[in-house]
Structure 1
């Protein structure tokens, strides 16, 4: 960061100095014509002095138009007095920037004063045009300085987007002219290491899927052979093996979500119909009272398969921990779709409502092992909603249980 600030400071500092010096030189020799005008006026004054010295002041035809003063009537600066003695034309300016010319005649007493003359003013368009060109050059130099920095920032943005979507084939092209080249190289190295870890995780998931299922299958076969000798003990062991299989399935399902977003396609989805379909499945498999209030013609942009998974997990959660009643509500609020799934179960303490969305989190006081589950259902809900720019949070229901609220951006129905 210090290198970036120092580079920007010195670049702007030296650029302003170079532009100012160049502008002053160009303005003096091209934009501002006053020096040439004064040079021409001095030549005219020299010619007039030669004429006056030749014919004399008394014989000059336009003597009345001349302003003749005595050299001693003016308090000259020493350098001006010396210049007059050498026969030079002395120029002075008044408070209005008008100039006057003084020249000493041959008698070394008489001074001819010409003026005051108003110098030719440069056009306002020339003045501001010159400023515009100067600032445009500075802006161009800043663009040249910022271009490598912009390319590196765009590359970092592309790398983070690739990592977020599970694309592990990351290519990097660091720019050695950028002020943040060192930082870019470190982040690119970190991104490559992250991509490598994600690739290793993917291989590990595939290995677990194959290597763990094989011994579990052998255990199930061995338990089946031992069942006649000790049925009760074998039944308990079989339940443990089945639980291990379910855990592996849940872990693999959650791990695969890390690599599913890239292949996920999104369309305009009638969420009202999707929620009603999932409620219909819940009614067929539930022995609890299910109430629902579903607003019609609500659409979202997303993947219907994964959004259905969100609804299934929330409904299964309410089915497990609700006592007698489940309530589902879908409504539209401020261009956002709000889905609420409430139950009359034991609820969730306020200090633990955020932690329930973490993987493998189970509340021992209210979520006992007998109810099933491994603490991955809500983590899957959070992951899928993040792909759809949505979120989920917990509040207390009006039935004193838990209410899981889902918010998604509403989408216009493009099929009309």
Structure 2
């Protein structure tokens, strides 16, 4: 960052110095030295005033007139300027200039004119300003270009990384202030891509290689003689539990790779919740209430994964609730909010975020003895994030936990 700030400071400082020097040179050679009839006439008037006297007056002509000071009604300021020996500049109705000065030791006045006034330099000033801004923009562009090229490289790296691909080697500009950062991010992205690839291989290995010996073990336990069945019952339960845990782990691991293949369709959220309630009613005797602001709430998402997220939350409420589960859908202009509450023991506020961490377990009431592996709610948050939503936990008015699943409405 220090290198970036120093290079920017030097670029701006150098640009301002160059622009000031160039602007002054242009102004002095193009504007200030440009022909100006009025300025030239003032120089002539000063020379003439210093060389004439009341005894040696020049002849009157079209551009030179001799006046008596008392013949003109001068303003006090004008009269004071003439008396003090200054050159008075006045303009007629046509905008022409007249130069008037007093002959030394006399009441006579000499008047030069009419003269064209000095041309306005406003246009030239604007041209110089625009040229200055153009030079500044060009010099800053020279500084920004290497930085911009490196930022494009960072974009290329992240795009490849999000697709799980190893980014190819990139060329870094040695003039860029963030070239070292670009190189470090490329190395980091390469390492992350390798880790993702290793994770894919691990998931495939677990899916095939670990399931096979478990299946053989289940078959061997099933073939034990009758007298050994009771002893093998606990072993069979452990095998079933291991299979369930493997399924849950694989489901969570696959989420990292399935996001690229999501099929997004319009979904009626009320209908989706009703389907989950119907399935849960077949498995529980708890009372389930469902309130909604509208009969139709349309969102955009993947039906399979949103069903999985809702299923995990309602099963969690069924598992830890005592007798009642309350589901409520609310909406605002942009989002739909699904509130799922139970009347269980609830979750302490200090552990609200912990429940979404994979493999986390809170206490004995929410341990694996109740059938959980600490992945259900982690899957819910992952799916909600996919759909540009969120999932949070809070206190329920029923006394237990309250989960709020937020999903954006369809445009």
Does the CA contact (< 8 Å) of 2:37 and 2:118 recur in 1?
A: no
Partners in 2 of 1:312 and 1:399 — Cα distance? 20
Q: Does 1:14 find its partner at 2:14?
A: yes
Work out which of the residue numbers 251, 254, 257 in structure 2 matches 1:253.
251
Change (3 A) 1:173 1:93: farther
Aligned-partner SS, 1:285: coil
Which string of whole-angstrom CA distances, capped at 9 and with x for unpartnered residues, describes residues 19-78 of structure 1? Answer: 221222222222x154544899399959x98xx99xxx84842499699xxxxxxxxxxx
Q: Does 1:279 find its partner at 2:277?
A: yes
Work out which of the residue numbers 215, 218, 223 in structure 2 matches 1:217.
215
Change (3 A) 1:253 1:180: same
In the alignment, which residue of structure 1 is the partner of 2:229? 231
Does the CA contact (< 8 Å) of 1:227 and 1:234 recur in 2?
A: no
Q: Does 1:380 find its partner at 2:369?
A: no
In the alignment, which residue of structure 1 is the partner of 2:370? 371
- Size of the aligned set, in residue pairs, is 370
In the alignment, which residue of structure 1 is the partner of 2:187? 189
TM-score normalised over the length of structure 2: 0.79
Shifted more, 11-20 versus 245-254: the winner is 11-20
Unaligned runs of 5+ in 2: 68-85, 89-96, 100-109
Unaligned runs of 5+ in 1: 68-91, 101-111
Q: CA deviation at 1:158?
A: 4.8
Does the CA contact (< 8 Å) of 1:289 and 1:326 recur in 2?
A: yes
Does the CA contact (< 8 Å) of 1:330 and 1:337 recur in 2?
A: yes
Does the CA contact (< 8 Å) of 1:314 and 1:341 recur in 2?
A: yes
Q: CA deviation at 1:300?
A: 1.5
Which string of whole-angstrom CA distances, capped at 9 and with x for unpartnered residues, describes residues 209-263 of structure 1? Answer: 1221122122222222334341112111011111111111111110010111111
In the alignment, which residue of structure 2 is the partner of 1:144? 142
Does the CA contact (< 8 Å) of 1:33 and 1:120 recur in 2?
A: no
Match runs of 1:122-137 below 5 Å: 122-137=120-135
Change (3 A) 1:376 1:303: same
In the alignment, which residue of structure 1 is the partner of 2:172? 175
Does the CA contact (< 8 Å) of 1:166 and 1:261 recur in 2?
A: no
In the alignment, which residue of structure 2 is the partner of 1:159? 157
Does the CA contact (< 8 Å) of 1:346 and 1:401 recur in 2?
A: yes
Aligned-partner SS, 2:259: coil
Partners in 2 of 1:223 and 1:292 — Cα distance? 45
Q: Does 1:314 find its partner at 2:313?
A: yes
Does the CA contact (< 8 Å) of 1:149 and 1:180 recur in 2?
A: yes
Which string of whole-angstrom CA distances, capped at 9 and with x for unpartnered residues, describes residues 262-301 of structure 1? Answer: 1112222221221112222222222221111133221112
Q: CA deviation at 1:373?
A: 1.8
TM-score normalised over the length of structure 1: 0.78
Change (3 A) 1:172 1:273: farther
Does the CA contact (< 8 Å) of 1:345 and 1:402 recur in 2?
A: yes
Change (3 A) 1:250 1:119: same
Change (3 A) 1:43 1:344: closer
Shifted more, 195-204 versus 361-370: the winner is 361-370
Partners in 1 of 2:295 and 2:239 — Cα distance? 45
Partners in 2 of 1:320 and 1:189 — Cα distance? 46
Partners in 1 of 2:159 and 2:313 — Cα distance? 29
Q: CA deviation at 1:317?
A: 0.9
Partners in 2 of 1:234 and 1:258 — Cα distance? 37
Shifted more, 178-187 versus 330-339: the winner is 330-339
Does the CA contact (< 8 Å) of 2:392 and 2:405 recur in 1?
A: yes
Change (3 A) 1:348 1:206: same
Partners in 2 of 1:358 and 1:402 — Cα distance? 17
Aligned-partner SS, 2:409: strand
Q: CA deviation at 1:172?
A: 5.3
Partners in 1 of 2:375 and 2:163 — Cα distance? 20
